[in-house]
Amino acid sequence: MKTDPLLLMRPNIRALTPYSTARDEFSGEGITAWLDANESPFDNGVNRYPDPHQKALKQVISELFGVSTDRIFIGGAGSDEAIDLLMRVFCVPGKDNIVTIAPTYGVYEVSAAINDIEVRKVPLGEDYSLPVDALAEAADDHTKLIWVCSPNNPTGNAFPIEELCRLAEKTKGMLVIDEAYVDFSTKGSMLPLLERYPNIIILRTLSKARGMASLRLGMAFAHPSVARAMAMAKYPYNVNGPTQVEVIRRLQATPDISQSVSILLHERRRLEEKLPQVAGVKKVYPSDANFLLVKFDDPDGVYDKLMHGGALVRNRNRVAGCEGCLRITVGTPEQNDLLLTLLEQ
């Protein structure tokens, strides 16, 4: 099914005349007195507004991820910013809806609620498999976005690329694939298929494998019409200057993250082997991410015990579909040793 993303967007976004910043209106050379943006003239390193279009940063991201700059949106509040922006670009409050898998990352539902958008949750199948047909059936003419997180948080599993393609072909809406944890997966990314499917949007973040959670940088890779609409609807200077400079510096200094990823994958395997031997562990779910979902006899008791021993994990015991489970991030070898020691006590 071929979708024109423009036709799915909110009519007011399609018709929007975006705010034009001072720095949009002039891009030439030879200016020594910048008197156009009411900034402070005293140079302290941060007195000027940053590039609202993040051109230099987009160029670096374009080369690193192999995506043309016209298909890139950058969020300065992480990929959480892209999640909220997509709701506002595509869904008419009180009228449109989104479809999500369940359980999944909680921000999709909260962002939809903030924007007064109905959420249709489709439970994952046996062993947390992707319910492609049920997702397509849950959608109607008012479904603008279908959200699939792969590898999925909190279950940890990635879905096969063929299944995601089948869903992209079956659905009339936009399929958003959140690949926050894809660097830890061997199942591959949908990124090479971006040009084949105009209705897919891929979310990535620098917060996980790339180790820059504090800088708050996330990306959406999409059809140029979607990237353009997101750029029109965003806050004017949504990525601050020091972040743009620092991210460029770090991406150029360490474009290859395979070394740190392989340490974490090795540690994940170690935890996968050791945890099933711990008394009280009922199940360790297979993971394609940098965390493990683990089912315990007494999850709340184990959570407290770990916390008092100095190891904090995420309690997912009260999340539908994850009853009895704790979500454990893979740490350094020393941190994982502490976790195992506390669990074995």
Least CB distance from residue 97 to ligand PMP, whole Å? 20
Q: How far from chain centre, in Å, is Cα 250?
A: 20
- Smaller CB separation from ligand PMP, 117 or 219: 219
Give the nearest distance from C-beta 78 to ligand PMP in angstroms: 2
Burial class (CB in 10 A: 0-12, 13-18, 19+), 25: exposed
Q: Between 149 and 271, name the residue whose CB sits nearer to ligand PMP.
A: 149
- Which residue in the shown chain puts its C-beta closest to ligand PMP? 78
- For residue 46, how far is the Cα from the chain centroid? 29
Question: H/E element holding 6?
Answer: helix 5-8
User: Which pair of tokens denotes residue 320?
Assistant: 């539908």
Nearer to ligand PMP among residue 72 and residue 343 (C-beta): 72
Least distance in angstroms from the C-beta of 90 to ligand PMP: 18
In angstroms, give the least distance from the CB of 185 to ligand PMP. 12
Gap between the Cα atoms of 338 and 220, Å rounded: 37
- The amino acid at 278: V
User: Considering the complex, what minimum distance in angstroms separates the CB of residue 213 from ligand PMP?
Assistant: 6
Rounded Cα distance, 320 and 339, in Å = 25
Binding-site ranges for ligand PMP (CB under 6 A): 78-80, 105, 149, 153, 178, 180, 205, 207, 213, 218
CA distance 76 to 243: 8
CB nearer ligand PMP, residue 98 or residue 343: 98
Closer to ligand PMP by Cβ: residue 23 or 76: 76
CB of 45 to ligand PMP, least distance (A): 26
- Which residue number, 111 or 171, has a Cβ lying nearer to ligand PMP? 111
C-alpha to C-alpha distance for 132 and 124, rounded to whole angstroms: 9
Name the residue nearer to ligand PMP (CB basis): 18 or 321: 321
For 238, half-sphere exposure in the C-beta direction (CA atoms, 13 angstrom radius) is 24
Q: What is the DSSP letter of 24?
A: G
Q: How many CB atoms lie within 10 A of CB 334?
A: 8
3 state SS for 106-140: CHHHHHHHHCCCEEEEEECCHHHCCCHHHHHHHCC
CA distances to 34, 130, 198, 319 from 285, rounded to whole Å, are 57, 15, 33, 16
Closest distance to ligand PMP from the beta carbon of 30 (Å): 38
Least separation in angstroms between CB 67 and ligand PMP: 17
CB-CB contact of 293 with 287 (8 Å) = yes
Query: For ligand PMP, which is the closer residue by CB, 209 or 343?
Result: 209
